Amino acid sequence: MDLIYLDHAATTPFDKEVMNEALPYFLENYGNADSPHALGRKAMGAVDEARDTVAALLSARKNEVYFTSGGTEADNWAVLGGAWAKRREGRTKVLLSAVEHHAVLSCGERLAKEGFTVEYIPVNAGGRVELSALENAIDDDTALVGLMSVNNETGVLQPVREASEIAHAHGALFFTDAVQSAPHIPIRVDELGADMLSFSAHKFYGPKGVGVLYIKNGVKVDKLVAGGEQERGMRGGTVNVPLVVALAKAYEKCRRDMQATNEKLRALSTLFLREISVLDGVHRNGENALPCLLNLRFEGVTNTSFLYNMDLQGVCLAAGSACASASVKPSHVLTAMGLTDEQAKECVRISLGKDNTEAEILRAAQLTVETVNRLRNM
Ligand SMILES: Cc1ncc(COP(=O)(O)O)c(C=O)c1O
């Protein structure tokens, strides 16, 4: 059975062309980028070039780009490292949106155990953070504000620029997790106003296990990974040269094709929604969301049954974020938007990708209609 993959917000397939460009750094050019010999210099040259590429695409400076082991590490580093550094100024409050990824929320839990006051900023029914609540919660004791650029479960775009202005007016650091926006929205750090920004290669057809943390020059952030002097003394560990090369190539390609990809995804998403419109009791969660990420509630159908049945028919999709998909807990994102636990358990995430075809979308929509009807009649 040919599988239909509709879970691109969880991960994307590794682009073969990108993989081939990275392959020499696994094989013949295997040097350690810190070694003082020809192979080391070759490796360092490749890392340098990758850093140049990423910096130029972000409108950042080269020394503001740090390579990490993925989005989770970059998020941990930004939230923990930023809060720890600001504590030395006597600031002990951290404000995070209620709908952040667990890579950020779990840092909030840790900081609370370390004595920080951690508050969660609510979102409205459309999934967008309430800026007035941020205004009310922030004060001159605030170390850091964290607001993701795009939510991974609903695709909702967040008011990052406005939140950064509020944070800066109170002398707090502003961090945005751009893991889900990087594949679809051209990031310009100078326009966003972020002190720190994270993203991850496997969301834009790069490999898993490599990401970026942008740290604006002059912003003090403590180290998270201690060790050698890699990444200008800020992150220990031998640099993963092939993955870094692949990240830069994948991101370059993603940015080059972004407009065309987004247009294709919008058309596929419209087609899917049109085809399933024969069903009653379907609700889309989230306002002002990326077209390619559909969070849908099918009234009267539990998401675990739906997923299981779709999987049996060869369609791969998700109940929420991949990290939480093994848990039966209702999504914290959807309950923060006001859904009841029961309603949240009726929601699924369908995320489209650049290689999906019209035929796949038509088939997936047909199977969705049949499966929802069958489960409702049981
Ligand atoms: C919004 C968001 N942040 C962070 C992560 C974690 O990234 P990684 O899988 O590279 O650790 C993800 C991945 O699902 C994500 O969607």
At residue 321, the pLDDT reads 52
Whether 164 and 217 share a structural domain: yes
Is any ligand 1 atom within 6 A of the Cβ of residue 206? no
> Does the pLDDT value for residue 148 go beyond 90?
yes
At residue 327, the pLDDT reads 57
At residue 36, the pLDDT reads 96
Instruction: Decide the pairing of beta strands 282-284 and 211-215.
Output: unpaired
Per DSSP (E only), the strands in 109-163 are 117-121, 142-146
Whether 54 and 174 share a structural domain: yes
Per DSSP (E only), the strands in the chain are 4-5, 65-68, 93-97, 117-121, 142-146, 173-177, 196-200, 211-215, 282-284, 293-298, 315-316, 347-351
pLDDT interval class at 203 (50, 70, 90): very high
Whether 71 and 210 share a structural domain: yes
Whether 245 and 296 share a structural domain: no
What residues pair up with 119 in beta bridges, in sequence order? 95
Burial label, 170 (beta-carbon count in 10 A; 0-12, 13-18, 19+) = middle
> Does the pLDDT value for residue 219 go beyond 60?
yes
Query: Element (H or E) spanning 63, and its range?
Result: none
At residue 45, the pLDDT reads 98
Find the CATH number of the domain harbouring 236.
3.40.640.10
> What is the best residue among 8, 79, 101, 323 to mutate for testing ligand 1's pocket, by most ligand atoms within 8 Å of CB?
101
Whether 41 and 138 share a structural domain: yes
Sign of CA dihedral 308, 125, 294, 199: negative
* Atom of ligand 1 at shortest range from CA of 202: 10
Is any ligand 1 atom within 6 A of the Cβ of residue 71? yes
Whether 147 and 262 share a structural domain: no
Beta sheet of 65-68, edge-to-edge order: 65-68, 211-215, 196-200, 173-177, 142-146, 93-97, 117-121
Q: What percent of the chain has pLDDT over 70?
A: 98
Give the mean model confidence (pLDDT) for residues 127-142: 98
Residues 265-279 pLDDT 10s: 999 999 999 999 999
CA distance 317 to 308: 10
> Which residue do the tokens 């100078």 mark?
190
At residue 320, the pLDDT reads 65
> What is the best residue among 180, 185, 292 to mutate for testing ligand 1's pocket, by most ligand atoms within 8 Å of CB?
180
> Does the pLDDT value for residue 261 go beyond 60?
yes
Q: Within 10 A of 31 (CB to CB), how many other CB atoms are there?
A: 19
In Å, what is the CA distance from 19 to each residue of 30, 49, 208?
Answer: 15, 16, 12
Burial label, 274 (beta-carbon count in 10 A; 0-12, 13-18, 19+) = exposed
Mean pLDDT, all residues of the chain: 96
Domain stops at, among 223, 253, 283: 253
Domain that holds residue 158: 16-253
Residues 75-87 pLDDT 10s: 999 999 999 999 9
Sign of CA dihedral 244, 245, 250, 255: positive
At residue 226, the pLDDT reads 95
Domain stops at, among 204, 231, 253: 253
Give the mean model confidence (pLDDT) for residues 356-377: 98
At residue 326, the pLDDT reads 55
At residue 319, the pLDDT reads 87
- Active-site positions read 323
* Residue among 208, 146, 290 at smallest CA distance from 10: 208
Domain stops at, among 253, 273, 298: 253
> Does the pLDDT value for residue 141 go beyond 70?
yes
Residues 19-67 pLDDT 10s: 999 999 999 999 999 999 999 999 999 999 999 999 999 999 999 999 9
Whether 24 and 166 share a structural domain: yes
What residues pair up with 350 in beta bridges, in sequence order? 294
Whether 234 and 265 share a structural domain: no
Whether 233 and 359 share a structural domain: no
* Atom of ligand 1 at shortest range from CA of 100: 1
Give the mean model confidence (pLDDT) for residues 86-98: 98
* Dist. CA 174 → ligand 1 center (Å): 18
Q: How many folded domains does the chain comprise?
A: 2
Residues 49-59 pLDDT 10s: 999 999 999 99
* Dist. CA 11 → ligand 1 center (Å): 9
Whether 161 and 275 share a structural domain: no
Give the mean model confidence (pLDDT) for residues 366-373: 98
Is any ligand 1 atom within 6 A of the Cβ of residue 211? yes
CA distance 110 to 26: 36
Beta sheet of 293-298, edge-to-edge order: 282-284, 293-298, 347-351
Whether 262 and 249 share a structural domain: no
Whether 233 and 356 share a structural domain: no
At residue 329, the pLDDT reads 86
At residue 1, the pLDDT reads 82
Residues 297-340 pLDDT 10s: 999 999 999 999 999 999 999 986 555 555 568 999 999 999 99
Q: Within 10 A of 92 (CB to CB), how many other CB atoms are there?
A: 17
